[in-house]
Amino acid sequence: MTEVNVVSIEMGYGHLRAAYPLADQLRTEVFHVDEAPLADAEEQKAWEKTRHVYEATSRISQLPVVGVPLRFALNQVTDIPHLHPYRDLSRPTLGVRLLERAIDGGIGQGMVAKLRQTGATLLTTFYSPAIIADRFGCRRVFCVVTDSDINRVWAPKNSRGSAIQYLVPSKRARRRLESYGVPGEHIHFTGFPLPPELLGGPDLPVLRDNLARRLVRLDPKGRFRDYHSHELEHFLGELPDEEQGRSPRLMYAVGGAGAQVELVATFLPRLRHLLVLDHLRLTLVAGVRSEVVEKFEQMISDAGLDAELGRSIEILHEPTFETYYRRFNERLQDTDILWTKPSEMTFYAALGLPLIFSWPVGVHERYNRRWAVEAGAGLKQRDPRYAGDWLAEMLSDGTLAAAAWSGFMRLPKFGTYRIVEALGK
């Protein structure tokens, strides 16, 4: 078997979050295409410039008034045309031409040199390394798609002549790549790569145990469990009585670019009564951004919650992505509701995690949200000023328990294992 190089990039968290489960399963490390040893100092500067523009645009586009022009520009750049009627969408777009220009300028050459030297298989969770490697004749190039629907930039200019093997998380992504000219035999439906520690293996013992406990916490009055008792027993066995009466945990996760931090200041005061009565536990996810931690701490203080609720509210922050990723997955074991924008976290609904979606950043996230909502696994957030009221209502009537069950039953869970199989490992 040839060596596999798992290559990604920190452009938000989505591409890295897809790479680490695969590296863990393959017992290898994650290489960053924009860092040593794959990129020298000059190439690192080119990548950093691109990241800075992306992150600044993502954050500012979420602001009222001043963010409107940037939000419009972001939607234009990430635009995904209507898929219907089915038609040829293979014509290269501005994004494709800009990537070609960057390749001509030498971006990605460090990665290409390493692949040529070692003869390794490339497994990447970002489109540009796959397109660069393919352009320079590298064989065995696999690209993991990280959204349910994607922009034309994911396929190379000469899409029909490319040898890239695409590993897609949804059937719609498959149809989209075919419309971009990618041959059908080069597209493999696998599902999104989820963390092995949250699955437990192909039989999903950890996932099933976590879901069984979660359903009890999400359904305090037993309305969903009574109605679906036979199905639950068949797939999960007897649900644990010891979870009855334990308060559910809500996790609010900020995007990797730091977007939508301000939403916490709106909903946090309205959760006060649930937190004070110990009817809810809250995790605020700051990722690797220390400035977001400071904002969260100030918002908690402004809401008058810092002194009395040390046990009910926690902030999740780590200095590096890998340490954050590990701790985030550990906390998900005990998380019951995930409130986030419809990024790559959308696919975590397959773990039996009900999703509450804040507004999307970019057209691809609108499609992610639609994909999960249509499967019954996700819900659009209601007015955050009254979050305490509608969250309590969703818990009381079993709405969140139903979303958790739909995500488990209807969304693909085996992506990590199927991708490794596709590599011949």
pLDDT band at residue 14 using 50, 70 and 90 as cut-offs:
very high
Q: How far apart are the first and last CA of the chain?
A: 8
CA distance 111 to 107: 9
What is the pTM for the complete model shown? Answer: 0.92
CA distance 2 to 397: 53
Strands 281-287 and 249-253 come out as: parallel
Torsions phi, psi of 5, nearest 5? -100, 115
For residue 166, the cross-strand partners are 143, 187
Amino acid at 288: V
Q: Are the C-beta atoms of 352 and 402 separated by less than 8 Å?
A: no
CA distance 214 to 229: 15
- Strand arrangement of the beta sheet that strand 337-340 belongs to: 313-317, 281-287, 249-253, 337-340, 355-357, 378-380
Residue 138: its H or E element: none
| 392's tokens | 């309590």
CA distances from 214 to 211, 312, 332, 381, 404 (A): 5, 18, 11, 20, 8
pLDDT band at residue 383 using 50, 70 and 90 as cut-offs:
very high
User: Rounded mean pLDDT of the chain?
Assistant: 92
CA distance 358 to 352: 19
Q: What pLDDT score was predicted for residue 51? A: 65
Count CB-CB contacts under 10 A for residue 379. Answer: 21
pLDDT, tens digit (0-9, with 9 covering 90-100), for 174-183: 999 999 999 9
CA distance 370 to 173: 13
Q: What pLDDT score was predicted for residue 362? A: 86
pLDDT, tens digit (0-9, with 9 covering 90-100), for 115-165: 999 999 999 999 999 999 999 999 899 999 999 999 999 999 999 999 999
CA distances from 379 to 271, 310, 405 (A): 18, 29, 13
CA distance 379 to 357: 6
